Amino acid sequence: MNPLNLNRLEPAEGRSRHCPEPLSASIRREEMFKLTFAAGLLSAGIVMAQNPILTVYAPDYFTSEWGPGPSIEAKFEETCNCDLVFSAGELLPRLVLEGQNTKADVVIGLNTDITKKARELGIFSPHNQDNSRLNLPVEWEDEIFLPFDWSYVSFVFDTTKTNLPNNFEELASLPENIKIVIQDPRSSISGLALVLWIKQIYGDNAAAYWQKLAPKILTVTKGWSEAYGLFTDGEAAGVLSFTTSPAYHIAVEEDNTKQAAIFKEGHYPFFELAAKVKSSENDVLSSMFMKFILSDEFQDLIPMTNWSYPSAQAVEKWPSVFSDLPMPQSAVYLSENAASEITKQAIEEWRSALSQ
């Protein structure tokens, strides 16, 4: 055991460099040892077989040691009398490949911009939770997809290099040597969110705005992590990320210089969602898990592990690092139908404007 790891038992705010690790890390570590010594020769399913198993498909960042997965697993297993097994990887492509034979009971980590496709697959069943318990910047009426966290898409800047722009026009007219990195809307969900955000605000003038913004864009990356890596490495002064990203730097690195620019036009909210799989044989357990998502136990874990706002908690319950963050005035939200109608055009406008 690394003694430094002990400070994970402290309350969230007091944390220094070593940051939120799951309460269950030591348990999990032993478990992982056992598992991995088999080095893939055995599948996880064979090793633990007594309790009923709840299989949850989740993205890699979610299940990793540094994501919310492990602590959520431990918390849920305290009460469910079951074995929660995360299965990491691509979500939708995998569900499509598996079709009716999927092992998934619950899927967690979908985004609003792909829910239309996901809904059309017809493999999810209603979450049966009370949507009024949610505390989101928009009215949530979806019966299938349940948000478990959210954040606003935003540009995060290194304030030692530049002042924060207050709107899109100021962003485009930042000094010449101040550059930003964005993500490709064709390969990254946050990149897509930006394109939709700008399309919603500028409408027919979106292409013109992209042309204006083009000289500011140092480069476009495949995904969020590449872009953020370039930013923290000092290659660019700003990066397309989330309003909650600075919380990581404040809480873990005690670094207050990285701040999100809050735009007057309003921000595009980004929800992460969970859904129950229709073909699941564990309906009781998966319903229990959906209920668990809205509970304080789950919601408490979200901010400091997934670096986003919890979806069903009043602001007063958020860690102060989060409630102290500047909050955009309004949300520029697109329903999935509205989004899917303009997506193709918005991406094409982005592509042709930036290809010149």
Partner 1 sequence: MAKRTFSIISNCILLFVVFGPLFVLIFHADQNFIFTAADKAALEFTLLQASLSSLLSVLLAWPLALALSRRQFKGRQLLIVALSVPFILPVIVAVLGLLSIFGHSGILNSLLQFFGFPILSVYGLSGVLLAHIFFNIPLATRAFLLALERRPTELERVADGLNLMSLTRFWILDWPIIRFVAPQIFSLIFVLCLTSFAVVLTLGGGPKATTLELAIYQSFRFELDFGRAAFLAFIQLCIAAFTCTLSILIFGLPTNFNSGFDRPLRKRYLSVWSFFWDFGVIILLGLFLTVPLISVLIKGIQNFYLIENTIWIPIINSIILALCSALISTILAMGFMNRWGEVVGTLSIAVSPIIIGAGLFLMVRNITNPFEITFWVTLTVNSVMGLPFSIRIMRPASNEIISNFRRLSHAHAMSPYAWFYWVYLPRLKGALTYSMGLVAALSMGDLGVIVLFGGADFETLPLVIYQLMSAYRTEQAMASAVILVSISIGIFLIFDRIGKTRNA
State the nearest-atom distance from the C-beta of 293 to partner 1, in Å: 19
Pick between residue 137 and residue 185 the one whose CB is nearest to partner 1.
185
Choose the stretch contacting partner 1; rule: CB under 8 A; options: 130-138, 211-219, 277-285, 331-339.
Answer: 211-219
User: How far is residue 101 from each of residues 46, 67, 117, 275, measured CA to CA in Å?
Assistant: 19, 28, 19, 17
Residues 2-21, interacting with partner 1 (CB under 8 A): 2, 5, 17-18
Contact 195, 201 (CB under 8 A): no
Other beta carbons within 10 Å of 94:
14
The answer to the question of residue 235 lying near partner 1 (CB under 8 A) is yes
Q: Supply the DSSP symbol for 233.
A: T
Residues 78-137, interacting with partner 1 (CB under 8 A): 85-90, 92-94, 96-98, 101, 103, 114, 117
Choose the stretch contacting partner 1; rule: CB under 8 A; options: 60-68, 167-175, 200-208, 327-335.
Answer: 60-68
The answer to the question of residue 348 lying near partner 1 (CB under 8 A) is yes
The answer to the question of residue 64 lying near partner 1 (CB under 8 A) is yes
State the nearest-atom distance from the C-beta of 244 to partner 1, in Å: 11
Residues 291-320, interacting with partner 1 (CB under 8 A): 307
Residue with tokens 């990581």: 248
Nearest Cα residue to 133 out of 310, 8, 343: 310
Give the span between the Cα atoms of 103 and 206, in whole angstroms.
43
Give the span between the Cα atoms of 349 and 209, in whole angstroms.
10
State the nearest-atom distance from the C-beta of 141 to partner 1, in Å: 24
Q: Give the SS3 label for residue 148.
A: strand
Nearest Cα residue to 329 out of 243, 265, 245: 265
Pick between residue 163 and residue 225 the one whose CB is nearest to partner 1.
225
Pick between residue 67 and residue 147 the one whose CB is nearest to partner 1.
67
Single residue of 186, 205, 326, 329 touching partner 1 by CB under 8 A: 186
Give the span between the Cα atoms of 171 and 179, in whole angstroms.
10
Give the span between the Cα atoms of 182 and 190, in whole angstroms.
9
Choose the stretch contacting partner 1; rule: CB under 8 A; options: 65-73, 139-147, 290-298, 329-337.
Answer: 65-73
The answer to the question of residue 248 lying near partner 1 (CB under 8 A) is yes
Give the span between the Cα atoms of 111 and 271, in whole angstroms.
6
State the nearest-atom distance from the C-beta of 266 to partner 1, in Å: 25
Single residue of 35, 80, 136, 144 touching partner 1 by CB under 8 A: 35
